[in-house]
Structures are given as structure tokens and as C-alpha cells.
Amino acid sequence: MLHLTDRSTKRIKDWLQDSDVDNIRIAMKTAGCTGLMYEVVLGGDFNVLEDFAIKHDGFDILVANTYLNAINGATLDYITEGFNSHFELVDNPNEKAKCGCGESFSV
């Protein structure tokens, strides 16, 4: 379903340890020139009718049911470039196009 690199797992565990929540949420929003952008946020309420929870190494990853097909088979990585770092979904077999700067995609 969704794969996590060791870097992303470690960063999530560190992130959760410094907070009072036990999950992250992967969402999508309209952005960029290609249409959609991934968003990884700390915490979130689970809605049994609208969300899917992925159990991973002691924490939950919440995904809205409407986004499951868009991330199925992708890998969540934590990228560090110079002084900047961010989560990124890579190797997503469902992406049909990606903009030149890599910020947005379409499925």
C-alpha cells in the first residue's frame, strides 16, 4: 500500500515524540502548475467513514479514502537538501505527470 523509508520513519517518530499526538496525515491539495500537491501534517482526527489508517512501526498514517488510489504503491521519504528538509512521496506509480520543479503532480 504505502512504503516508508528508514529516514521518514525516524523523522516521524522524532516528530511524534515531541508532540501529544500519535499519527500523521497524508493529504493532497490543489496547487502548482500540474494540479495537486502532497501534504504531510502532524496529527488529525480519524473519521471511520472517510479515512483509512495505515499502521506502521508504532504510529498511524491517516489517509482520506479519496486519496488511497493516488498513493497506492508510493514511498514516503524524508529528503534533506542543504538546510532544507521535507517529506516527499517518491516512486508513485499512479502519477501521470509532474511539473518541472517537482512541486505538483497529476494522477
Count of alpha carbons within 13 Å of 49, Cβ hemisphere only?
0
What residue ranges in 1-107 does DSSP mark as E strands?
2-4, 23-31, 35-42, 51-56, 59-64, 74-81, 84-90, 97-98, 105-106
Tell me the pLDDT tens digit for each residue of 65-98. Answer: 988 888 899 999 999 999 999 898 888 887 766 6
pLDDT tens per residue, range 10-25: 999 999 998 989 999 9
- Do the bridges between strand 59-64 and strand 23-31 make them parallel or antiparallel, or are there none, so unpaired? parallel
Residue 30 domain boundaries: 2-95
* pLDDT one-digit tens code per residue, 14-61: 999 989 899 999 988 777 666 677 889 998 899 999 999 999 999 999
Domain tally, the chain: 1
CATH number for the domain harbouring residue 51? 2.60.300.12
Nine cell digits for residue 30: 490543489
In a domain, 101, yes or no: no
Query: What is the spatial distance between Cα 43 and Cα 25, in angstroms, rounded to a whole number?
Result: 6
In a domain, 103, yes or no: no
Q: Is the pLDDT of residue 104 over 60?
A: no
| Cα 25 from Cα 71, distance rounded (Å) | 13
pTM score: 0.84
